Amino acid sequence: MLTKLLSGDSPRSVILSALLIAVLVCLAFAPFLFPGVRALETAATICIFIVLAASYDLLLGYTGIVSFAHTMFFGLGAYGVALASTHMGRGFDALIVGTVAGAVLAAILAAVIGLFSLRVRAIFFAMITLAVASAVAVLVSQMSGLTGGEDGLNYKIPRELTPAFKLMDDKLFGVRVNGKLLNYYLVFLASFALVLVMLRVVNSPFGRVLQAIRENDFRAEAIGYHVVTYRIIATCLSAAIAALAGSLYAIWLRYVGPDTTLSFEIMLDILLMVVIGGMGTIYGAILGAVLLVLAQNYLQDLMEGAVPAVEGLPLLPELLSPERWLLWLGILFILSVYFFPTGIVGRLRKPRA
C-alpha cells in the first residue's frame, strides 16, 4: 500500500527510510511531542517549506531549469488568501477563492514567462525570472492601497482556525484542542497531500520525460518529445504548488508582507534546502527543509548554551557568540556540500563499496 502511495519511489536506504519516518512522526504529532508556541510555529514552517522546496526541486532537480522567481509564486498564493480574506471577510469561502485564484494566477504567469523565455539558454532564463520577480516585489511594495506596501496586510481567518475557538474544554494529553491545533493539522495534512502528489508526478511517465530532458534535451527532442512544452508544463505545475504553499503560509500566519513571502532571502533558503537534501529527489527537499528551518530557529540557542562551556578559552567565546550564527550556518552548508556533493539523499542511496 505504501509503495503504491509513493508510486514505487521507495527511499532505497534503511537510514533514509528511518529519517523520513522520524520526520513524518515528529510533524504528525508535533503539538503533543513538542509543547509550546515556538515549537508549533517551527513545525508548521517546516511543513510549508517542505512543499515549497519540493516544488522548486520539481523545476531544478527534475527538469534542470534554474529559476529565481519561485518566491514570486509563493507570494502570489499568500497575497491571494490575504486579499480575499480582506475583501470577502473571515470565511472559508474567502480562503478557497484566494487559494484557487493565487494558484491559477501563478500558473498563468509561469506559462507567460515560459513561453517567452524557455527557448533561450538556461542562464538567460534565470536572469529573466530574477528580473520579473524583482519587478513584482517592487510593485507589491509600492501598491500600498491594495497590498499594504511594506507594512503588509493583517486579516482575519475563520474563527474555527484561531485559538479563540475551543473544540474541547479539557486538554488532550496536555494540549489545548482549539482552532490553532486545527489550523496546524490543516497545514500538515495539506502539505502531506501535496508531497504525495509531487512524488506521483515525478515517478510518472511525465516525470521520466522531464528527467530525460534534464539529462539531454537534444536527445529528448530527437526522439519526439516537444521539450519546450514539457518545460512549460513543469514550470506551471511547480508555480501552482508554490502558490498553494504560500496560501498555507498566509492561513497560518494571518499576515502577509513582502519580507515574509517575496524576499530574495527566501529564494536562497529554498535553493539551499534543495542542494543540501539532494537535487532530483523529493525526499531531499524534505530533509533539506527540516535541517535549514531547525538551524534558523535553534542554532542561536545552541550557540548561546555553548558559550559558558568555552569561557576562558581564546577566540572560541567570540566565535560562538549567537550574533555569529549566520557564519556557522554558512560553514555547515560548505561542509554539507563538501561531504555530500550529491546531497544527503544521494549519499545515503550510494551503495557501499
- Provide the domain count of the chain: 1
pLDDT of residue 5: 53
pTM of the predicted protein model: 0.92
Alpha carbon distance 275, 287 (integer Å):
10
pLDDT of residue 332: 81
Residue 342: which domain range?
A: 2-349
Cell of residue 239, nine digits: 508555480
CATH for 145? 1.10.3470
pLDDT of residue 6: 54
Q: Are 212 and 220 in contact (CB under 8 A)?
A: yes
Cell of residue 7, nine digits: 508510486
Cell of residue 1, nine digits: 500500500
Q: Are 210 and 202 in contact (CB under 8 A)?
A: yes
Q: What is the residue-wise DSSP string for 21-69?
A: HHHHHHHHTHHHHS-SHHHHHHHHHHHHHHHHHHHHHHHHTTT----S-
pLDDT of residue 206: 92
Collect the ranges in the chain with pLDDT lower than 50.
1-4, 353
pLDDT of residue 122: 67
